[in-house]
Chain A
Amino acid sequence: MSKEPAAPPFTPPDAPPALELRGIDKRFGAVHANRAITFAVAAGSIHGLIGENGAGKSTLMNIVYGFHRADAGEIRVRGRAVEIGSPQEAIAAGIGMVHQHFMLVENFTVLENVVLGVEGGALLSGGLAAARAELGRLARDYGLEVPVDAVVSELSVGLQQRVEILKALYRGAEVLILDEPTAVLTPHEADQLFTMLRSLRAQGKAVILVTHKLREIMAVTDRVTVMKQGAVAAEVITCETSPRGLAEHMVGRGVLLQVEKRPSQPGAELLTVKALEVRDRLGVARLKNVSFSLRAGEIVGIAGVAGNGQSELLEALAGTRSASGGEISFGGRDLVREQIDPRARRALGLAHVPEDRLRMGVVAGFSAADNAMLGYHDAVRFNRGGLRDEAAIRAACAEKMAEFDVRPSQPELRLAAFSGGNQQKLVLAREIYADPNVLLIGQPTRGVDIGAIEFIHKRLIALRDAGKALLLVSVELDEILALADRIFVMNGGEIIGELARADATEEKIGLMMAGVRVEVSP
């Protein structure tokens, strides 16, 4: 991703901004989600909105798009104050939004999705014909080609996102908001998206890019608004700042973006996988002929676009999904043939931090103390005379909280009341305290803020240096590159390539993620 010089402003400098927010304020009960937010986005520019999870970015954009109503403040479009109380009014004001989770009807065609809500009459035929013509024009003007008669569920994620952008443009959007648009894209698709955004900018549209990835902000935006705890922490011109500077604004202190680590010292093979195969309920192979081994003292990263078998691999290793073939050798046992269940695997020293923390890793309604021993609740130290030893459970949790800097340090508090980062730190503490030989870890920093990411990364490196083996699955390529000593790339249920960290570049991994087999010198 190369950084381009900012395009010259498309509109004369004295023209009113395409979108201006003045003193937007919003409370949800006790939470002050937005505090007097003020910023302006010029036509013909790309404006970044960055901040940690819970900084109030989504709330702010939902206010602009009419999902929520601000308690105070004013939204001005092209210099005129507008009242936006519903998405319909936002659309009418020329504001379009591409949501992180696409708002597409999957079994509809592209054309049907585009016209939904603006059919142009009680009968469909006229509206569909008009939309077909208009989509042709948009394809020419912006380079937004889509197969209009294809069913959406058959399109790639990148194309589905393009449909979302077309939907907004078809409705006459002059301001386009994109919420975390690259979360689901390969690096190549993300580059295509940025090219599209630049051509929108050249046509005079105002684009707001909401993200927490510093790299993207640096790559495409002209200005950046940094949010922190519901307020604007800084507004800067992109080419006058650096990732480090932005991170400091986001967190309020200096942050190490790159974890420091020594070269790995791989030891004995701890876990060996041979020709592992997993089929889903319909008999479709989700994992095909996967073979590799994990050695003591290394972190192996699994890269890939979400849904290419990484989750199945992790679950098959942890035992929460049964393998239909192959073997997993660990501690002298074949976990597949002996059908060893997840708890027994954990007892053997194979710990698992699941990808979907809330669904598989914790019980959000239980206290932090209960969650901190979940899965280890049979251990002698938590029980006394057949009953729970409440004091020991609380003390164990308090100890983990202290060591892993979980805040607030209140074992009785319901887990749901903790932030994502603190929940994850507690889960990690639980699994690391069990002293496993192999730790499987999925999306360790999903929904986790930058400060906690740094902490978690350091703990994972420390675990590696203590001679453990780690298998890391993450959709964040940066994370894989930062932590892994060896990298496997998965595509379509197969490991299609292995790279040593020293040989791994974003381009190579990106190509492999897209399914291209790259010849790598061993």
Chain B
Amino acid sequence: METYTLIVLLLAATIRVATPLLLAAMAGLFSERSGVIDLGLEGKMLGAAFAAAAVSATTGSVWLGLGAGILTAVALALVIGYACITHRGNQVVAGMAVTIMVVGLGPTLGLAWFNLGGQTPQLDGAGQRFTGVVWPWAETAREVPFPGVLYAELLSGQNLLVYFAAGLVPFSAWIFYRTRFGLRLRAVGENPQAVDTAGISVNGLRYQAVIISGVLCGFAGTYLSTAASSGFVRDMTAGKGYLALAALIFGKWKPWPTLGACLLFAFTDALATRLQGVALPVVGVVPVQFILALPYVLTVLLLAGFVGQAVAPKAIGQPYSKEK
């Protein structure tokens, strides 16, 4: 029974870590499937995290915070879009530039507005954070050993953004493979000229994709500062944007495999946290640095060896112009 509870708790931690990763990976999925490399994920998330925490702290409403997070991330996405789509700039440079800018801008604005060393105030008032939604009979169910604990700890008690992220995967898959928009989006990332000759605007489609990426990054950032923690901290994304990109590649630019990749990364992360200071058989206590590096080592290994023939959208990274 003890082991079972441990496993359930491990899975619960996995879900918490996986949520922002998944939101960001889905954001990247839309952008990259349209042919725009999304190296700005990290920056858009961080910007959204700051804006959401700042607005939530000021207004007392986490929903206004979410709105601010989304607006900020979309604005940053439009900067990338303007540079890469309208002016056919280098997508890697544009994404990195936005990320670097936000890394500095967030704490600077935070210092100016709140005078807390670049952080935002603690979100401890009612309605300032996304908190767990307890499902009916969760407490009663806890008494039932097997499915009850699962219900109480995993299904129930998560916050709204987690449920949103979970629903996003089938919804994205449906968009990509069952709708006109999805067909065109997939086409524009593969062969924009074919889309253009079919009389559809390549730039219009790419802007839509980039904006969707912004919206989803808004959710991801808001989750970090108002659900996973209570306020914005300098560099709080800690490379999650890049990890999401890695998950996206490992997931071969497809919604369901990307979900799998996110869960795998999140699980190793949760496992790493659990393993800190625990004596393992044979090796004994492993230094904490090694344990914490585990998810990243796994990322490198997976991307280097086990992805197989991950075929990127063919036109990714190439600005489109009519003249050949």
Contacts and interface: CB of A to CB of B under 8 A. Distances in A.
Interface of A: 65, 67, 86-89, 91, 97, 99, 101, 103-108, 112-113, 115-119, 121-125, 127, 167
A86 B199 CA distance: 7
Contacts of B180: 119, 121-124, 127
A105 to B, nearest CB: 5
Interface stretch (B65-73, B187-195, B293-301): B187-195
B189 to A, nearest CB: 9
Interface in B180-208: 180-184, 186-187, 190-191, 193-200
A127 B196 CA distance: 20
30 contacts: A65-B197, A67-B322, A87-B196, A88-B199, A89-B199, A104-B194, A105-B187, A105-B191, A105-B194, A106-B190, A106-B191, A107-B311, A108-B187, A108-B190, A112-B183, A113-B194, A116-B187, A116-B194, A117-B200, A119-B180, A119-B183, A122-B180, A122-B181, A123-B179, A124-B178, A124-B179, A124-B182, A124-B183, A125-B178, A167-B198
B186 A105 contact: yes
Nearest to B188: A105
Nearest to A68: B322
A91 B191 contact: no
Nearest to B182: A124
B88 interface: no
Contacts of A118: 198
B314 interface: yes
B209 to A, nearest CB: 16
Given A67-B322, A122-B179, A123-B178, A103 B191 contact: yes
A116 B198 contact: yes
B190 A105 contact: yes
B190 A116 contact: no
9 residue pairs, one from A and one from B, having the closest CB atoms: A117-B198, A88-B199, A103-B194, A119-B180, A103-B197, A87-B199, A105-B190, A105-B187, A105-B191
Interface residues of B, number: 23
Contacts of B197: 65, 87, 97, 99, 103
Given A89-B199, A117-B184, A127-B180, 12 more contacts: A67-B322, A87-B198, A104-B194, A105-B186, A108-B190, A113-B194, A116-B187, A117-B195, A117-B200, A121-B180, A122-B181, A123-B180
A121 B183 CA distance: 12
B264 to A, nearest CB: 25
B314 A116 contact: no
A89 B182 CA distance: 23
A422 to B, nearest CB: 21
Contacts of A97: 197
A334 B314 CA distance: 40
Contacts of A86: 199
A445 B197 CA distance: 29
Nearest to B199: A88
Nearest to A117: B198
Contacts of A125: 178
A87 B191 CA distance: 16
Contacts of A112: 183
A417 to B, nearest CB: 18
Contacts of A67: 322
Contacts of A113: 194
Contacts of B184: 116-117
Contacts of B187: 105, 108, 116
* Residue among B180, B197, B198 facing the most chain A CB atoms (10 A cut-off): B197
Contacts of A106: 190-191, 314
Contacts of B196: 87
A115 B187 CA distance: 11
A112 B182 CA distance: 11
Given A108-B186, A116-B184, A116-B187, A103 B179 contact: no
A86 B181 CA distance: 20
Contact of B198 (A103, A121, A122): A103
Given A86-B199, A99-B197, A125-B178, A115 B191 contact: no
Contact of A91 (B182, B186, B199): B199
A89 B187 CA distance: 21
Contacts of B194: 103-105, 113, 116
B295 to A, nearest CB: 30
Contacts of A167: 198
A116 B199 CA distance: 9
* Residue among B196, B199, B314, B322 facing the most chain A CB atoms (10 A cut-off): B199
Nearest to B178: A124
Nearest to A104: B194
B289 to A, nearest CB: 37
B168 to A, nearest CB: 19
A88 B200 CA distance: 7
A513 B295 CA distance: 53
B178 to A, nearest CB: 6
Contacts of B195: 116-117
A89 B199 CA distance: 8
Contact of A107 (B181, B183, B190): B190
A112 B314 CA distance: 17
Nearest to B174: A123
A106 B190 CA distance: 8
A107 to B, nearest CB: 6
Contacts of A127: 180
A447 to B, nearest CB: 14
A108 B183 CA distance: 9
A123 B186 CA distance: 15
A67 B184 CA distance: 20
A113 B197 CA distance: 12
B193 A116 contact: no
Contacts of B179: 122-124
Nearest to B315: A105
Contacts of B182: 124
A123 B177 CA distance: 10
Nearest to A88: B199
Contacts of B178: 123-125
A86 B322 CA distance: 12
A296 B181 CA distance: 62
A61 to B, nearest CB: 12
